[in-house]
Amino acid sequence: MPTSHIVRDGPQGLPEDLLEEMVETFKALSDPTRAQIIFLLTKREYSVNELSELVPVSASGVSHHLAKLRAIRLVNARRDGNQIFYSIDDAHVGALFREALFHLDHVRQNLPDHPAYFEALAE
């Protein structure tokens, strides 16, 4: 079987490998725990224990998430003695959040009432 499980990409579609990488990035943001972690890390660096106190998951669970995020190079790890601090140095990740908020606002504007979303990203 040659490429049967692979998404067909005609001239119109995104090339297969690019699509796959993009999906990995979105997948990283598509879980509440990970999304919260990544959002926190766009603000400043946190240790694993710090993060596990800010999200409702054990330190082990957080570590698992961070391992995945490391694998796709979305976060940086820095060791300081006993603990390891994670951060995001890619400004585009913050931009990704911002665009998502823009989209949500667009959706809301075509609705009866629309709250102010953007404040969430105010530094």
Partner DNA sequence: ACTATAACTGAACATCTGCTCAGATACTTT
Partner DNA sequence: AAAGTATCTGAGCAGATGTTCAGTTATAGT
Residue 82 interaction partner, one of DNA, a second copy, none, beta carbon < 5-8 Å per kind: DNA
Token pair for residue 7? 């998404």
Helix 16-29 with 32-43: angle, nearest 10 deg: 90
By CB under 8 A, name the one of 29, 48, 59, 77 that touches a second copy: 29
To the nearest whole angstrom, how small is the minimum distance from the Cβ of residue 107 to DNA? 19
What number of chain residues touch a second copy (CB under 8 A)? 53
To the nearest whole angstrom, how small is the minimum distance from the Cβ of residue 122 to a second copy? 12
Residues 29, 39 contacting (CB under 8 angstroms): no
Please give the DSSP secondary-structure letter assigned to residue 118: G
Share of the chain residues as helix, strand and coil, in percent rounded to the nearest 5: 55, 10, 35
- Residue found by looking up tokens 């943001």 in the block: 29
| Contact call for residue 110 and a second copy (CB under 8 A) | yes
Residue 48 interaction partner, one of a second copy, DNA, none, beta carbon < 5-8 Å per kind: DNA
Q: Specify the stretch interacting with DNA by CB under 7 A; choose among 55-63, 91-99, 100-108, 110-118.
A: 55-63
Strand partners, 76: 87
Residue type (1 letter), 22: M
Question: Residue 61 or residue 94: which is nearer to DNA going by CB?
Answer: 61
Residues engaged in binding DNA (CB under 7 A): 27, 30-34, 47-49, 56-61, 63-68, 77, 79, 81-85
